[in-house]
Structure 1
């Protein structure tokens, strides 16, 4: 009976952890999109200048600023280059989150921008989503956690001789 309750507790714990995955991925995607829009807004004026004078190439605009004899323009080149790099990063992150669920999950887990992932984690609030994706994550996690822990405990018990009946123990003594 205790084993059944333990199995239920493990399943429930896995379920509650599993339903957090789609919520975290969704929060990460929203954060990336917000930063992406902010980066686009920050580049708007520079993009218009690049469009007028350099066929829209922001990198040529940055090089033009760097080559200027004006010290202020050279200083601004680093600021514009930073904005361009930030915009490129946000575009790549946003693109990576446009694929199927397993691709988004792998991206957030393994290859996401560590700064953005930490930023998302710092403000993440636990939620219980009832979307099919969250339910699937929850059920899968619950079954997996219960199965793994129970298997480990059974292996440990078997190695320690727990659970053997007396007939089996007597046969092994002979």
Structure 2
């Protein structure tokens, strides 16, 4: 009986962990989008200058700042270049989060920005979504966790001979 309750508890734990995956993926995507919008807002004035004088080429604007005789302009060239690079990075990150759930999960697992990932994790609030995707993740995670744990325990029991009676052991060794 205790074994059945432990199985249920393990299944419930897997279910609760699994339903967090879609929410975390969604929060990461929203965080990336928010940072991208903030980045674009910071570049707004520079984009307007690049549009007016450099045919919309921000790199040409940065190059102009770098070769300027004015030391303040040369100093600002690095800041503007950093803003431009950050905007490009966030746009790539946002495109990566536009794919299917499997592409999003793969991106988070292998190529997500560590800083944004940590920021998302710190701000994440555990939630139980009742969306079909969250339910599917929850059930899949619960089954995987339950099967893996039970399989591991049964394998260990088999290796150490637990659960076998003396007669069974004698029969196998004759």
> Using the alignment, how far apart are the partners of 1:100 and 1:112 within structure 2?
15
Aligned equivalent of 2:149: 149
Aligned equivalent of 1:56: 56
Give 5+ residue unaligned stretches, structure 1: none
Report how far residue 173 of structure 1 moved.
4.3
> Using the alignment, how far apart are the partners of 2:51 and 2:64 within structure 1?
14
Structure 2 residue 106 is the aligned partner of structure 1 residue 106: yes
Report how far residue 165 of structure 1 moved.
2.7
Alignment of 1:90-105 (within 5 A): 90-105=90-105
> Using the alignment, how far apart are the partners of 1:2 and 1:157 within structure 2?
17
> Using the alignment, how far apart are the partners of 2:104 and 2:16 within structure 1?
20
Alignment of 1:1-174 (within 5 A): 1-174=1-174
> Using the alignment, how far apart are the partners of 2:173 and 2:57 within structure 1?
83
Report how far residue 2 of structure 1 moved.
2.1
Report how far residue 172 of structure 1 moved.
3.3
Q: Runs in 1 of length 4+ with deviation above 4 angstroms? A: none
> Using the alignment, how far apart are the partners of 2:173 and 2:69 within structure 1?
93
Backbone CA RMSD of aligned residues: 0.9
Report how far residue 105 of structure 1 moved.
1.1
> Using the alignment, how far apart are the partners of 1:129 and 1:144 within structure 2?
20
Give 5+ residue unaligned stretches, structure 2: none
> Using the alignment, how far apart are the partners of 2:144 and 2:90 within structure 1?
34
Report how far residue 34 of structure 1 moved.
0.5
